[in-house]
A and B are shown apart, each in its own frame.
Chain A
């Protein structure tokens, strides 16, 4: 029984450490553009304890940068970037640059996917268990690499279309939403991958009406981490871990006393 209780306490400590890890990761990324808080919750179910992890896709504050290739999303949606292996990843980080060949790149250095009338774009997904590609979704938008003309000033239109000041169309930023964004797989660098569990991928309704997604030029979305809340949660977790350690100590002392009582009287 003592051992069983000790293992139970160790399990609780492990869970709290996992929670602590999430809070520390959040604090580390408090100043990362577009970073979303990780939320780990524990639930009592008939099948035992269940852990549920999700990113809190709540808007961070849009910070003005006045840089023409900085874009922030207000409302639902993700920018789409093409990974080196040809798959597509999704990000809220709209800090774009122009590559050596004039292509529009994300802050991670991956091409930003925009609409183009000539090439149909198919989004790919991975299998969470095997990591292999498991399917594709026709998102109903079109894509190809986006090139910014040399020396051009990029202007964003309300519907997400990028144009030069002279009126030449560069491309339309692909902003997509998911049926179940909680299931997006975090691969670091503020990038996420879609999977079967994310459900349908749809083009976001871009506009300035209420309920629509708005893209702003010259702004970047801050992380939505609340350092104060995280610090308070860390203090609470610290107390819980100490309490579990206390239980282990008490169990150990009890076992020691019991052993000494029995052996003394043999």
Chain B
């Protein structure tokens, strides 16, 4: 809401400032509630502008810590610009979520049941079947899948914007944790809270001035 709609522009500005701070609290809250979401990227609370919606904010794309899981189909990527390819409804789509498993149809899928794209796979020797029978499956840093020492295929990796020398390593048995820093978010929450307190104080003062003016002049009209 623009402050021009208020009878008193100062009150409008204060209201806008408060709305802005409340938006920032919403972002801090989103961060905190996703601190244990696989691969979640921190939303930057300071990036929200007055006129923008929460969809327009920026994210901290830095790498989250790698959590060891020991699961052979848990994969992480070392480069924040890199993605796995999974089969979407209209062809391959990018995904950073590396938690895969073999489904009932014997396909390697992510938790949204989208199949992981494995290149150079022999249809007669599917990776999933070897994994299911408990074969020794190793995926090296280049995404090459080896079962009992033999190459069975390569995990497809795509880049958002690949520059010269850009590389991404596949890490088997690890998942990327969220990069949310709880302590930092609590500090930001306190800062926003203080800001709102200040705005509320000024708003209260402004309203009491208005009230006094109305009472004083109103009595003499």
Kindly state the separation between the CA atoms of A199 and B102 in the bound complex, as whole angstroms.
9
Q: How far is the CB of B73 from chain A (nearest CB, A)?
A: 9
Are A42 and B37 touching (Cβ within 8 A)?
Answer: yes
Are B104 and A264 touching (Cβ within 8 A)?
Answer: no
Residues of A within 8 A of B128 (CB): 179
With beta carbons under 8 angstroms apart, the residue of B29, B175, B193 that contacts A8 is: B29
Are A180 and B103 touching (Cβ within 8 A)?
Answer: yes
With beta carbons under 8 angstroms apart, the residue of A1, A49, A58, A77 that contacts B22 is: A1
CB-contacts of A226-263 with B (<8 A): 236-237, 239-240, 243-244, 246-247, 250-251, 253-254, 257-258, 261
Using CB atoms, name the residue of chain B closest to A265: B207
Given contacts A179-B102, A243-B185, contact A261 B71 (CB under 8 A): no
A166 within 8 A of B: no
Are B99 and A210 touching (Cβ within 8 A)?
Answer: no
Are A244 and B33 touching (Cβ within 8 A)?
Answer: yes
Interface residue tally of chain A, by bracket? 35 or more
Are B101 and A5 touching (Cβ within 8 A)?
Answer: no
Given contacts A247-B29, A251-B25, contact A54 B101 (CB under 8 A): yes
Given contacts A45-B112, A261-B207, contact A240 B25 (CB under 8 A): no
Are A44 and B182 touching (Cβ within 8 A)?
Answer: no
Are A199 and B106 touching (Cβ within 8 A)?
Answer: yes
Using CB atoms, name the residue of chain B closest to A237: B36
Are A204 and B38 touching (Cβ within 8 A)?
Answer: no
Given contacts A196-B104, A243-B182, A250-B193, contact A43 B97 (CB under 8 A): yes
Kindly state the separation between the CA atoms of A44 and B110 in the bound complex, as whole angstroms.
12
A185 within 8 A of B: no
With beta carbons under 8 angstroms apart, the residue of B70, B135, B211 that contacts A58 is: B70
- Stretch from B1-9, B161-169, B197-205 contacting the other chain: B197-205
Using CB atoms, name the residue of chain B closest to A74: B134
Residues of B within 8 A of A239 (CB): 182
Are B71 and A56 touching (Cβ within 8 A)?
Answer: yes
Are A250 and B103 touching (Cβ within 8 A)?
Answer: no
A205 within 8 A of B: yes
With beta carbons under 8 angstroms apart, the residue of A43, A76, A246 that contacts B37 is: A43
Instruction: Give a binary string over B144-183; 1 marks a CB under 8 Å from any A CB, 0 the rest.
Output: 0000100000000000000000000000000100000010
Q: How far is the CB of B183 from chain A (nearest CB, A)?
A: 8
B125 within 8 A of A: no
Are B29 and A265 touching (Cβ within 8 A)?
Answer: no
Q: How far is the CB of A262 from chain B (nearest CB, A)?
A: 8
Are B25 and A247 touching (Cβ within 8 A)?
Answer: yes
Residues of B within 8 A of A42 (CB): 34, 36-38
With beta carbons under 8 angstroms apart, the residue of B70, B103, B193 that contacts A56 is: B70
Are B99 and A12 touching (Cβ within 8 A)?
Answer: no
Given contacts A199-B105, A257-B200, contact A177 B134 (CB under 8 A): yes
A189 within 8 A of B: no
A11 within 8 A of B: yes
Are A52 and B29 touching (Cβ within 8 A)?
Answer: no
A16 within 8 A of B: yes
Residues of B within 8 A of A77 (CB): 134
Given contacts A180-B103, A261-B203, contact A50 B33 (CB under 8 A): no
A213 within 8 A of B: yes
Are A183 and B133 touching (Cβ within 8 A)?
Answer: no
3 tightest A-B CB contacts, nearest first: A76-B134, A12-B33, A199-B104
Point out residues on B near A: beta carbons under 8 Å.
22, 25-26, 28-30, 32-40, 69-71, 97, 99, 101-106, 111-112, 128, 132-136, 148, 175, 182, 185-186, 189, 193, 196-197, 200, 203-204, 207-208, 210-211
